[in-house]
Structure 1
């Protein structure tokens, strides 16, 4: 009890001594139950906060400075500068390469070389200079064609400084002029052949089937030319006929240039199979041959004109459209537009050229001692044609017309054996001779066997694709 009383006395004495502090802090409370009053910032609190902020800032400056002062100083490295003799620099002159402004001109239908020169402000004297300087490339300037390109380099005054053009498929000719001096150079082009394969089935026309198979119109035309001796593509073609072709396309400088040649082909027409293989003979000439080694090109064309329809068949008796009475028709009439070229059916000599009653303008070609062909109703003859002149198969001998007794433009064509007319559509044409024995063996070993295997494989792939397609459609 005495101890507790003593503690109470000490507490009262302290309260009296520090009464001013207790009066000032009497409202401070840590009680959770009492209502908390908002803290008010008095002078003492502002002093404490400022002191703490000052100490923090001083520590940020004083401590790094003290650490730097305590670090051991390092002695700097000594560097020695030595004189170095440099080579004298020669003055450098930068000259940008000169870009020549070549102007490209494409030949338009009906345009001549002199027309092209005139369009660029060049005269006949410039054209003559080019012709005189062309050398081995002169022939390319004599026969220009639509689509062909010429590049011209003109001086500041419009004078001709150079010309470039294709000398042939694989070489470009360039002629540069320096005053009166001309220099011709030939630049080889990068030529590349790329092989393609195609298979088609006829459902409307040969060209439509070829287009679906990815062939160009020009390549389809080459296919028709190969088999035109055996197949009449106007009358003989049937739905379901098929073809398989291996052919080349030609690329120049990496870009497509033109269609190449057929390497091997097979055509099935009305169940009959025809083949053609490209082969280079011992004399260097190239031709197409059937599997037995006979030339595809027969001695005679079955049809010597591109026609639209047969207007009259070979007949022992028909009603003549003009005379109005029965009369034998000893040839075949092929209707075609006036001016359509007529070709010689085979190699031979012109035996007759002139007017013939009923036939109009008429030509007879003698091919051998027993065989001749006759062509009637021509509108005109080919230029330079004369009796006794030798003609080659396919050469143009005249143009379709309706001279003589004719009701419309057409070619009247006759095939004669010992002077007697025979039906050109059914007459048996003589077969050409096969390759000589040694070349025939090479042809079969090097061409027929490997290419025939490829053609058969292509046909098998097409058949399998059709079977798979049929199964897929059934499912």
Structure 2
């Protein structure tokens, strides 16, 4: 195919043959202009093509779609990511300390504390609890979580009105019955530990029988216990123990039994199987672990002054720092220090009874303070005239000293289950006692068989 631009000289030659020169030139110019318009766009069309608007964002979206990437429009921008920081409560920590370590201002702390009565409870800290702070990019507190334990979470969240709202999140642990038994060879603590009991459960068992058994004086080799309690699990992992449900303790051939009962008011206490309270007005000993290093003796030879001086109490030798409990409900009438007594606490129980606790390492109560039975009032020490860490414990009736090891047995117990509540008591406790008995039967049978074999031999 021939190039259409090349015939132009032939066209000029034909024009020369038929037209005068001037006419031919004019006609040639016109023909050249016509040919030029066939290859070049008009200015108006070119202007329209160049003036079309270009939408860059639309083009970006088209390019991203072609590449398989989804674009995010400006109005769909994700919210700023919060910074999380977890802090554990240490001994001596205050809420202000935690906020300071988290980098949150005191102003925000006060705003949170003023948001309601629930927030004010944050000021009461317990070592081991965990706080989680959630702050934005400016360091402003958006939410605060308090993990009291693995089952309870308290949350405070900033709302749209710039105020904090409160929420409590609780989980339920799975509970299973556990059973342990042991024969005492040297001490309750060793026997309980070997049987797989925690220290707190051993102490709880001692507390149940504290009005009937003096665990510093009465325990003998061959004593036995059988205890049924709850174990708590969360997500298949053991997280702790629940309370003792039923327990029996054989001391010097005499067996004591107790069962836990929750009354109609929601209060839990321990009772004998027939509904009598296990709790006397006074516990037998004001310490859980210890030994009697000196008995009540009006004619004792004093270990320091080497003279005959009345020993109007009982001395319990125990490690320094061992908790000392109030023997019964009452009011602190004296708490101080003297050269002979060291740190001391005196408690009045009603009109007739006073208990005294001497040589304490630390006092935990003040004069005039009300105390409950088994409340910690101090710790064992060796202050004042003392040769070593021990508690000197006195019991006075109408102003006269009595032997603390024997007087408690003569005092009345606390109130028993009223007749109007006995049906409820039986329906709740009889299944527990029957379950404990079922656990005990194989052990009783085994001991009986062992005794028969020993007799034959």
1:23 paired residue number: none
Asked if 1:316 corresponds to 2:298, the answer is yes
1:244 paired residue number: 226
Change in CA separation of 1:429 and 1:253 when aligned onto 2, cut-off 3 Å:
farther
Asked if 1:279 corresponds to 2:261, the answer is yes
Name the CA distance, whole Å, in 1 between partners of 2:201 and 2:289. Answer: 20
Asked if 1:296 corresponds to 2:278, the answer is yes
Count of matched residue positions in the alignment of Structure 1 and Structure 2: 380
Asked whether the equivalents of residues 300 and 346 of structure 1 are also in contact (C-alpha less than 8 Å), the reply is yes
Asked whether the equivalents of residues 278 and 286 of structure 1 are also in contact (C-alpha less than 8 Å), the reply is yes
Name the CA distance, whole Å, in 2 between partners of 1:143 and 1:188. Answer: 19
1:129 paired residue number: 111
Asked whether the equivalents of residues 190 and 253 of structure 1 are also in contact (C-alpha less than 8 Å), the reply is no
Asked if 1:394 corresponds to 2:374, the answer is yes
Asked if 1:425 corresponds to 2:380, the answer is no
Highest CA radius of gyration, 1 or 2? 1
Name the CA distance, whole Å, in 2 between partners of 1:394 and 1:321. Answer: 30
1:410 paired residue number: 390
Change in CA separation of 1:249 and 1:174 when aligned onto 2, cut-off 3 Å:
same
Name the CA distance, whole Å, in 2 between partners of 1:223 and 1:234. Answer: 14
Asked if 1:265 corresponds to 2:259, the answer is no
Change in CA separation of 1:466 and 1:130 when aligned onto 2, cut-off 3 Å:
farther
2:142 paired residue number: 161
Name the CA distance, whole Å, in 1 between partners of 2:364 and 2:203. Answer: 24
Name the CA distance, whole Å, in 2 between partners of 1:377 and 1:447. Answer: 44
Give the Å deviation of 1:191. Answer: 3.5
2:95 paired residue number: 113
Give the TM-score, by structure 2 length: 0.71
2:56 paired residue number: none
Change in CA separation of 1:101 and 1:276 when aligned onto 2, cut-off 3 Å:
farther
Structure 2 counterpart SS, 1:133: coil
264-273 vs 197-206, which moves further: 197-206
**Deviations 1:136-157 (CA, angstroms, capped at 9, x unpaired):** 2532x23322222222223234
Structure 1 counterpart SS, 2:406: coil
Asked whether the equivalents of residues 195 and 248 of structure 1 are also in contact (C-alpha less than 8 Å), the reply is yes
Specify every segment of 5 or more residues in structure 1 that has no aligned partner in the other structure, as ranges.
1-90
Give the Å deviation of 1:331. Answer: 1.0
Name the CA distance, whole Å, in 2 between partners of 1:239 and 1:424. Answer: 24
2:26 paired residue number: none
Give the Å deviation of 1:288. Answer: 1.1
Give the Å deviation of 1:470. Answer: 10
2:308 paired residue number: 326
Name the CA distance, whole Å, in 1 between partners of 2:410 and 2:82. Answer: 61
Give the TM-score, by structure 1 length: 0.69
